[in-house]
Chains A and B, each alone.
Chain A
Amino acid sequence: MGKELLKKALGWAGKKGSPQDRPPQPEEKRPLSTNWDENQKNLREVFSQCADAVFQETSFNAEQPLRILLVYLETLTDQAQISQTIIKSLQQGPLELPDEVRISPATSPEVLQKHVLSACHPQTSTDLLELTKFVLGGNIGILIEGSSLAVVVPAQGGQARPINEPENEPNIRGPRDGFVESLKTNISLIRRRLRTSRLKVETLELGLLTKTAVAVCYVEGLARPEMVEEVRRRLRRINVDAVLGSGYVEEFIADESISLFPLILTTERPDRVTAALLEGRIGILVENSPSTMVVPCTFISLLQASEDYYVTAPFSTFIRLLRFVALNIALLLPAVTVAVFSFHQELVPVTLLSTVSNTRQDVPFPIFIEVLLMEVTFELLREAGLRLPKTIGQAVSTVGGLVIGQAAVEAGYFSPLPVIVVALTAIASFTAPNYIVGTSIRILRFFLLILAALLGGVGIMLGLMAILAHLTALRSFGIPYLSPFAPMSPADLKDSFVRVPWWAMITRPRLEGVREPQRQDPDQGPKKPERSGIRKGRRRP
């Protein structure tokens, strides 16, 4: 019942949104007729009020010129290709045809397909609606006088963002390319890294209106077939009108209806997705969204960056431990501060205690309120800095962080302690390589802060145990979220808080890569050159 209430509160989950009320999907066929004018009229009707739809009439220079209508959306097509290749071919093509080819209304589509436009890989369509769909997909529809068969020439183009380094996941040593909005480009980025036919890419279309293509990528033989099937099943279950980003899909296919922690890993780095595919995971790419989903996701993978695999193993281990410490600071520091200074003063050395006590003599609020207010202020600043243009955003953080903090302390509204604590917390929280896990930490920080204000350290521990229970109960596509720690699989600890050198990464993670556990030959580690003639002239035979 609670969930019903919640649903109602969140989104009118009652009758309004139920599938019965959805307008029926126009599935019926509308075959093209042989009447060119009628076809043309119908098509113009379909695209009426579409300013970017172009209807270009031209003729096909046969013995008896045939009228031809090119239909395309200028916003989705490559103008240069249309004018230089297609129109040129249509006008000049017939002249270069072999003699035996005769052009009549009936044969013209075939002639176009096989000879005139063969370089463009044309397809044909007999249905008006199918043709519409093609046009909406960035193809050029060609209606030929007297033929009920339309030729479709792919000419996708239009503005696309070039491949850039993903801003949220910068890298120092690894590759710099990042996913863009185009699904094809994205798949190509993966394929370039995985030149094997075992990389399977299955696409399906989601969204009644948006017709967003979604691709499921996996490496055959590594990914468990039942998991792939589960991904397909969950994706097919989605029936929405629009999918505008991977976030839309993510919330539909996650295991828990509401979880504070991301149950699906999102990344903009193709190398990261590829590495995940090689561990037996499954990538889900969504058209028009550079952030790509990887399932199953474990908690520890949210604390790992692809950079970790490109730098040396000891450094990577150090960085990961540092990140873990930072995660704990980001989660706990405000709560611990409140607990220690309001409940367990005996834990503070007396000099620090007296200093803090003295700075707090004339401030109006108790320490809990101070920390809470500062945290809220910080969250505001952070959000403000994020949404503003970069240059202004920096100004906002500077003004907010330095000036407000300094002024509040100098004016005596706040004691310096919460300012320092919140600043440290903020710095620590920026080390999270995954933005989403950062957000869960931010929410939980407040939860723990309140508990700390009520029961001190005991409250924090109660809260942590509740979080731990939540985390251990989570599963992402059947894989326990806290693996390899709980349940413990010792072999997989090699790539957790530590990262062993690549020559020691012999097996894939136990739970995901169970089908083909061995990743590489063992004993490939660098070996010292055998001791040869240098010492005492001794030489091995």
Chain B
Amino acid sequence: MSQEKISGSQVSTVLFILVMATGVLFVPGITARRAFQSAWLVPLAIPLLTGLISLWAVYRLGQRFPAKTVIEYSPLLLGKVLGKGLGLLYILFFLMTNILVIREFSVFLTVTLLPETPGYVLNISVVLLAAYIVSKGIEVIARMAQFVLPLFLASLSMLLLLSVPEMAPRRLLPLLEGGFLPVVKASLVPSAWYGEIVVLLLLLPHLNKPRELPRKGVLALAWITVFLTLDILATLLVFGPYLSGQLTFPFWTLARFIEFHKSFSRWETLIVILWEAGMILKVALLYYAACLGSLQWLGKAPFGWVLGVLGGVQILAACYLVGGQIQLAAILEHVFPLFALPFEIGLPLFLVGIARLRNLGRV
């Protein structure tokens, strides 16, 4: 498992899909609710910065401890007990995030496509599939991401293009009503999603050229920002800020709204394709991170066993811990950022600081 290597461009692809998979559906609504017509400015500022800081911290740590993951070097930095504790926290973080992602997957599908299907079926299916993908290793995840990316971009661009005739640019006026404060307020949730690139803490040793990370990471963040901005812009321009803010999945509604020559309407299938593929990969990636972390944390443990236990935990937690759509939306909007951001920028920065103070690792 540890000899597998992924290339720089694969890393950017993986990061892009990691953030976009959830972002494309959830971000327009959440940002429009707070920042109204200025929502499209949101990803350009604080979330991008969060991503960059997180990337920087991860890269610095990777430079000091090449070929080691956070689980392995945190005991070196913080001492055995604290370090192990931190490692465990990170595993739990990835696990919790993944549970939320799994639930997002099933909630979206039960709300939109499969209203009568019980959520547990979808939870179990996606976790089983992800387990199958994880068992094949990070190389397969990266390659799948590379394969899915063109489809993802093509269907996203198609939707954006098709919504052009329905757009009214005046819906964006007045720009920055109420100053920057609404934009800042709306930044919290997207920042937490941008920060998910912290999964690099575990993936870094798999990079074949770790030196490329800053370039490829920034590239990924830039593309994420471009497409997320376009995504928000499209919903704002078609539905206006007030309706966008009320809809749970504005981009999904947008896909249902746009049409091309009357006979080619109902583009929501495209959304399902791009989104579901992305979500499965995202679940697999976070699952992989949790698995890899647990393996390293436990020392010697059979891979299949860890895979199975984590899968079971995720299925159970997704079925019973997280409630329905309303609870999930509340968690995503109010709890998740506060829970995730410390792990995404707080702790990495803290670790960089400790490493610098104690002058540990390679300088």
Contact = CB atoms under 8 A, between A and B. Distances in A.
Judge A-B direct contact (beta carbons within 8 Å). yes
B125 A486 contact: no
Given A455-B114, A456-B113, A461-B273, A466 B144 contact: no
B146 A458 contact: no
Interface stretch (A12-20, A343-351, A438-446): A343-351
B144 A457 contact: no
A343 B269 CA distance: 12
Contacts of A472: 136, 139-140, 143-144, 147
Given A469-B144, A482-B143, A486-B147, A461 B272 contact: yes
A457 B273 CA distance: 9
Interface stretch (B47-55, B126-134, B187-195): B126-134
Interface in A469-511: 469, 472-473, 480, 482, 485-488
Interface string A32-76: 000000000000000000000000000000000000000000000
Given A344-B113, A465-B133, 4 more contacts: A458-B122, A462-B126, A462-B280, A480-B143
Contacts of A388: none
Contacts of B253: none
Contacts of B109: 458
Nearest to A340: B269
Contacts, number: 81
B133 A343 contact: no
Interface of A: 343-344, 346-347, 349, 455-458, 461-462, 464-466, 468-469, 472-473, 480, 482, 485-488
B298 to A, nearest CB: 24
B147 A482 contact: yes
A473 B269 contact: no
B269 A457 contact: yes
A473 B136 CA distance: 6
Interface residues of B, number: 34
Nearest to B109: A458
A230 B354 CA distance: 49
Interface string B266-309: 10110011001100110000000000000000000000000000
B129 A462 contact: yes
Nearest to A488: B146
Contact of B136 (A469, A482, A488): A469
Contacts of A473: 136-137, 140
A485 B145 CA distance: 10
A486 B151 CA distance: 13
Contacts of B63: none
B157 interface: no
A465 B277 contact: yes
B3 interface: no
B136 A487 contact: no
Contacts of B143: 472, 480, 482, 486-487
A457 B10 CA distance: 28
A458 B114 contact: yes
Contact of A485 (B9, B147, B280): B147
Contact of A469 (B113, B133, B268, B272): B133
Contacts of B121: 455
A458 B144 contact: no
A442 B125 CA distance: 23
B7 interface: yes
Interface in B90-130: 109, 113-114, 117, 121-122, 125-126, 129
A344 B280 CA distance: 21
